[in-house]
Amino acid sequence: VSNSFPEKIDTLWLDCHLVTLADAGQYGSIENGAMIVNQGQITWLGPADQLPSDIEQRSTQVHHLDGAWVTPGLIDCHTHLVYAGNRVSEYEMRLNGASYEEVARAGGGIVSTVKGVRAAEEHELYEQSRPRLQEMLAHGVTTVEIKSGYGLDVQNELKMLKVIRRLGEELPVSVHATFLGAHAVPVEFKGRADEYIDLIVQEMLPAVAAENLAETVDAFCETIGFSLDQTEKVFKAAKKHGLAVKLHAEQLSDLKGAVLAAQYDALSVDHLEYLDPSDAKILADKNCVAVLLPGAFYFLRETQLPPVKQLREAGVSIAISTDCNPGSSPSLSLPLMMNMACTLFGLTPLEALRGVTINAAQALGLKEKLGSLEIGKLADFVVWDIDSPAELSYRIGGNPCLKVVKNGEIVHQAKRF
């Protein structure tokens, strides 16, 4: 904490309790705190009684927060937020007793979302996705990762990535784009997955890189997705184009995708219900984040739990995300995912909060400028109507978000009851 204060201050935030998350293993709370923001960056924070007496006169704007709690802006580091249509009818069919085969025959499953995305014009896809991102923002999200993966051909994957870019340009949320061409084998390549991988490596990825449409490359490594060999081909191509990788791994079986991803310096490996507990150490050694997705676990009524104890003991950074997608996790609420991560996976409320802030920032390679309240970091934060930080994880649903601040500006203000 610095004792020098700038002569002129853009914005002064007063009457609040800060959850800084500046150090591992603790909230780093500052009760009766204050924060100074200049040019979108945090330039001072600490106990309000350390402020000089003339500080309000020196400030262009002063916000009094009536004793509310302030956390870093939430970061949703794994979403499939851009899609067309939804899968409500297949959800209802299944609950009426239809089998997966019957759902598939009725045109359900990922195939139906691919059809919807291919049929949608770029602007339609944008118009359908935009309200979802606005709802995420209203739940405290200031940075989001969004994947392609429902186009599954050159033209439609590029269309999705352009929509993803435009969302970040037009809404006050930072958007990190991931190319997920290897999400599923499209119907026209049925039984020819290797040929589809060739298309990804030879045409899709070069086009994505040439237009600078993605920061990272992802794949679905699974018995019902792509094999370890096919995944490695995608990773090699990503590296050739200078793109970082991440992976959907060990969701339904242990194919050792997480170990492969760690060898390619993946930023994160995601899902991990079937991760061999002894592989946790490999992730720790490579600083690879374990992203847990309790929404999909819940919605699919899975029973195999991710090895949280071993991840924790090995010192792996754990992040939590919505996995927002129409098929297995139609959720836009990170606070709800925090509750599920605690209740279903046994995370502590502190781990859940770190999982949607500083560790999620690490999962996107953004830890240096986001994820905690510290001098020099971007002034992305959320003002909450809660009495203690653990209350964010305690609630099942609801939305205690009062204000969202992005680069020092209020970009969302909740209506209160």
Residues in the site for Zn ion, rule: CB under 5 A? 323
Question: How near is the Cβ of 219 to Zn ion at its closest, in Å?
Answer: 11
Sheet of 244-249, strands arranged across: 74-76, 141-147, 174-182, 216-221, 244-249, 268-271, 289-292, 318-320
Give residue number: closest CB to Zn ion. Answer: 323
| Whole-Å CA distances, 103 to 6, 96, 97, 100, 222 | 63, 11, 10, 5, 21
Question: How near is the Cβ of 174 to Zn ion at its closest, in Å?
Answer: 19
- Six token digits for residue 45: 């924070």
Question: How near is the Cβ of 373 to Zn ion at its closest, in Å?
Answer: 29
Nearer to Zn ion, 126 or 150 (CB): 150
237 residue type, one letter: A
Nearer to Zn ion, 120 or 292 (CB): 292
Nearer to Zn ion, 176 or 412 (CB): 176
What values do phi and psi take at 144, rounded to 5? -140, 145
Q: Is the dihedral of CA 313, 315, 321, 326 positive or negative?
A: negative
Nearer to Zn ion, 139 or 246 (CB): 246
Question: How near is the Cβ of 80 to Zn ion at its closest, in Å?
Answer: 6
Q: Rounded to an integer, what distance in angstroms lies between the CA atom of residue 175 and that of residue 213? A: 11
Nearer to Zn ion, 45 or 364 (CB): 364
Q: Rounded to an integer, what distance in angstroms lies between the CA atom of residue 360 and that of residue 30? A: 22
Nearer to Zn ion, 157 or 323 (CB): 323
What values do phi and psi take at 367, rounded to 5? -65, -25
Nearer to Zn ion, 153 or 323 (CB): 323
Beta carbons of 137 and 81 less than 8 angstroms apart: no
Question: How near is the Cβ of 286 to Zn ion at its closest, in Å?
Answer: 21
Question: How near is the Cβ of 79 to Zn ion at its closest, in Å?
Answer: 8
Which candidate, 38, 28, 21, 79, places its Cα nearest to that of 367?
21
Question: How near is the Cβ of 100 to Zn ion at its closest, in Å?
Answer: 19
Q: Is the dihedral of CA 17, 399, 43, 144 positive or negative?
A: positive
Nearer to Zn ion, 185 or 404 (CB): 185
Q: Rounded to an integer, what distance in angstroms lies between the CA atom of residue 219 and that of residue 297? A: 19
Sheet of 381-384, strands arranged across: 41-47, 29-38, 9-19, 59-72, 381-384, 401-406, 409-413
Question: How near is the Cβ of 248 to Zn ion at its closest, in Å?
Answer: 5
